[in-house]
Structure 1
């Protein structure tokens, strides 16, 4: 893993987009995913395993969610992975973590919480082609068969119908990234996808720290955060776009018109 501290907006852009040129395609088409966090000391534990809270309740939580979810949702869900994505999207503790294909969406989540503007933040940048090298053979074969680099819920269901089968694939930790179904405009606008590991107690940052290639941890100093936030607002990367509806509009207005702390 490479850790890098950036000092300016331009240096940040260079770091986010470095290596994006795809020689085979002749286009700037990177194989990166991003996760922005407002405090550099925040780790990559999931809501399920943060402080060990729900590690043993994964099946109970998901079973109850499926039982009590609105019937309209049930008509769209065809696999466990669909249900897992829906549950994560609505705040249930799961083993999933939210990521995005967009570096600027990641920067939004780095700077959205103005209460943490005085803290250094972090953006994780992961090359999923590198992490895919450690996948079990059935998952690699599925990617090759589909000509894909990240999974869909349908692709995962074809290889592992439930989480127990997924966890039994190998004893070695691995991570994969999958795109959820387009449940609503929020997922679409955030260019969202999820990471998932083969165990409830595994932490992604601990796994990524051992990777020699394809992982960058970009440290954004507190002094740069307000410039990043203002330029994102100018580029229309805001709550109003990323959380469509009145709730997102209100979140944007509240933050946008709040005074900057001295």
Structure 2
């Protein structure tokens, strides 16, 4: 598994890094899904800024989700994590404490094999444990935290997160980068597009698949689709 070995050697050279994230496209930015939303396309009927939009999204999600979620979230941060993992745009950015699982997300989609990928390794400035951090609006910089396993997906992916502060109005969100001191260190390992298929195969040999990282019927279905080339 020379490609995996080379990857791990490169990651080891990063030094102390506790957050990893994989992108299928080397040009994608380290910004949360809410920041990728075009403000001009939002129904801003009762939203005059990003903060209003987040409040409305979570209000509706909590209203209809509280009867569906088995264990109700204890605070706003837990609601954000649930919203993130069910596809709503939030100011959270998913990371993993395991570099191989980050690598999976950089190479898993054959439809993007024409693009070079990248795995980022970051040393996050502030690292909260979620149980000890409740108020999400008390910081004005990007912070990182490890979640107590709210759901099986977070646990399987060894998930951790960065939380980006809400900018004023509809201004751009802050990116994760060294220049704004949101992280102490940010390294990256670029993955040539021609290496993606072999890395995907090697990760499968190691048991790192959709079925493993998404331990539910959706993950099983995606693994079957990948196996059959669908």
Given candidates 73, 90, 111, the residue that maps to 2:86 is 90
**8 Å Cα contact 1:32-1:127 kept in structure 2:** yes
What per-residue deviation string (whole Å, max 9, x for no partner) do you get for residues 63-98 of structure 1? 111111132538532111111111112111110011
Which position in structure 1 is the counterpart of 2:131? 154
Aligned 1:71-110 pairs, distance under 5 A: 71-73=67-69, 75-110=71-106
Aligned to 1:192: 159
Tell me if 1:214 matches 2:185.
Answer: yes
- Deviation, 1:236, is 0.5
Equivalent residue, structure 2, for 1:120: 116
Does structure 1 residue 175 correspond to structure 2 residue 142?
yes
Cα deviation for residue 209 of structure 1 reads 4.6
User: Could you say which structure has the higher helix fraction?
Assistant: 1
Residue 152 of structure 1: how far off its partner (Å): 2.8
Q: Do the aligned residues in 1 keep the contact of 2:178 with 2:184 (CA within 8 Å)? A: no
Alignment gaps of 5+ in structure 1:
1-6, 21-29, 133-149
Q: 2-side partners of 1:225 and 1:61: how far apart?
A: 36
Q: Once the 2 structures are TM-superposed, how far is the Cα of residue 249 of structure 1 from its aligned partner?
A: 1.5
Aligned to 2:215: 244
1:179 to partner: Cα distance = 2.2
Q: What is the TM-score when the length of structure 1 is the normalising length?
A: 0.73
Distance in structure 1 (CA, Å) of the matches to 2:130 and 2:3? 39
Residues 79 and 153 of structure 1 are in contact (CA less than 8 Å); yes or no, is this contact kept in structure 2?
Answer: no
Q: When the two structures are aligned, how many residues end up with a matched partner? A: 214
RMSD: 2.4
Counterpart pick for 1:64 among 43, 60, 67: 60
Q: Residue 28 of structure 2 aligns with which residue?
A: 42
- For residue 156 of structure 1, report the CA deviation from its aligned partner: 1.5
Contact 2:17–2:121 under 8 Å retained in 1: no
C-alpha distance in structure 1 between counterparts of 2:70 and 2:100, whole Å: 33
2: distance between equivalents of 1:183 and 1:8?
A: 33
Per-residue Cα deviation, 1:118-151 (whole angstroms, up to 9, x for no partner): 21001110012xx23xxxxxxxxxxxxxxxxx32
- 3-state SS of paired residue (1:204): coil
1:101·1:193 contact (CA, 8 Å) conserved in 2? yes
- Could you say which residue in structure 2 is the equivalent of 1:224? 195
Q: TM-score, with normalisation over the residues of structure 2?
A: 0.83
- Aligned residues of 2:178 and 2:185 also touching (Cα < 8 A): no
The CA distance in 1 between the partners of 2:71 and 2:206, in whole Å, is: 37
SS of match in other structure, 1:215: strand
Maintained 8 Å contact 2:4/2:202: no
The separation in 1 between residues aligned to 2:86 and 2:56, in whole angstroms, is 17
Residues 18-68 of structure 1: CA deviation (Å, up to 9, x unaligned): 355xxxxxxxxx542100010111112222121433635111111111111
Give me the whole-angstrom Cα distance separating, in 2, the residues matched to 1:184 and 1:197.
22
The answer to whether the 8 Å contact 1:9/1:227 transfers is no
